[in-house]
Copies of this chain bind each other. A is one copy, B any other.
Amino acid sequence: MNNDTTISPGKTRIGWIGTGVMGRSMAGHLIDAGYAMTVMNRTPEKAKALVDAGATLVDSPAKVAAQSDVVFTIVGMPDDVESVILGDAGVLSAIQPGGIIVDMTTSRPSLAEQIASVAAGKDVASIDAPVSGGDVGAKAGKLSIMIGGDEAVTQHLDPLFQLMGQTIVYQGGPGRGQHAKMVNQTLVASGMVAICEALLYADKAGLDLTTTLKSVSSGAAGSWALSNLGPRIVAGDYEPGFFVEHFIKDMGIALDEARRMNLCMPGLALAHQLYQAVAAQGHNKKGTQALMLALKKMNG
């Protein structure tokens, strides 16, 4: 990393791998700010909006890396992260010494540590920087970005993070961004169990659900999820938001890490199992609030 070179649109070449719902909006903010970008996606059609905005499309992570100073990745699963960064035609096969990799996928903390270690051997910095805030936060540039890795590198990258996020917090060394995201998902998981059970109870007890939400949304039981997803559940709207299959992946990572750390997390384990039922009922591509469908079916 050239610590003497401040990041700026005129000088810094950006690489972007992963142009799904999240990545597309986030990369778009960098292009809008004037950054030159090389982009790659498994399904190239999904990169079209960025190419139309001026990005150069290539067909491998290595080709992105060869033309970039800072390479962002935000792909699906930890295996995808591993393949895209550590694989044969991966970012680390072609990125120049002094380059920076920023993985914004929600992925395994241990993988983030491994990538940082391999990268360091090539004089490349690696940062894990998963996000929270969904498609809405990505579009608005108001994500929460949880950052692990070298602190000086994190500060160096700040002009880029500022274009994508509102709550940008350095959490510590490699993997600590991912761990913070696991904390986030643990909160979301039992929170969704709470909301769906509570609304099911309300329904069974003969309460009007919208009137019930009026009583419980603003006090000690209130939450972002209740205010934002509660009304969607009441309206029978189970569109994503955030996909069930991605959430199950996240909870699985957190539970794997908990096992590794010798930590009992019964609430998260229960939520994970209940979401397995959501998946078993064919709702992998619905939003996380589809937990309500599984609880309803379970109750006749």
Which A residues have a C-beta under 8 Å from some C-beta of B?
Answer: 109, 132-134, 137, 144, 146, 167, 169-172, 176, 179-180, 182-191, 193-195, 197-202, 204-208, 211-212, 214-216, 218-226, 228, 242, 254, 257-258, 261-268, 270-271, 274, 295, 298-300
A226 to B182, CA, bound (A): 15
Residues of B within 8 A of A132 (CB): 215-216, 219-221
Contact of A267 among B109, B197, B222 (CB under 8 A): B197
Given contacts A187-B194, A187-B223, A201-B261, 6 further A-B contacts (CB under 8 A): A183-B207, A188-B220, A190-B197, A194-B267, A205-B257, A220-B228
| Complex contact B184–A261 (CB within 8 A) | no
Contact of A258 among B146, B172, B185, B201 (CB under 8 A): B201
A262 to B257, CA, bound (A): 36
A120 to B273, CA, bound (A): 47
Contact of A167 among B194, B219, B258 (CB under 8 A): B219
Given A146-B215, A172-B208, A183-B207, answer yes or no on A188-B267 (Cβ-Cβ < 8 Å). no
Residues of B within 8 A of A146 (CB): 215
- Minimal Cβ-Cβ distance residue in B for A166: B218
Minimum Cβ distance to chain B for residue A224 (Å): 4
| Complex contact B186–A137 (CB within 8 A) | no
Residues of B within 8 A of A299 (CB): 262-264
- Minimal Cβ-Cβ distance residue in B for A224: B222
Residues of B within 8 A of A185 (CB): 221
Residues of B within 8 A of A257 (CB): 201, 205
Residues of B within 8 A of A211 (CB): 169-172
Q: Which of A133, A134, A219 has the most CB of B within 10 A?
A: A219
Contact of A222 among B170, B223, B262, B263 (CB under 8 A): B223
| Complex contact B184–A221 (CB within 8 A) | yes
| Complex contact A198–B187 (CB within 8 A) | yes
Minimum Cβ distance to chain B for residue A222 (Å): 4
| Complex contact B144–A204 (CB within 8 A) | no
Minimum Cβ distance to chain B for residue A212 (Å): 6
Minimum Cβ distance to chain B for residue A255 (Å): 10
A295 to B199, CA, bound (A): 27
- Minimal Cβ-Cβ distance residue in B for A177: B215
Contact of A144 among B191, B198, B215, B242 (CB under 8 A): B215
Minimum Cβ distance to chain B for residue A197 (Å): 5
| Complex contact B264–A298 (CB within 8 A) | yes
| Complex contact A183–B202 (CB within 8 A) | yes
Q: Which of A188, A191, A199, A254 has the most CB of B within 10 A?
A: A191
| Complex contact A188–B221 (CB within 8 A) | yes
A154 to B170, CA, bound (A): 52
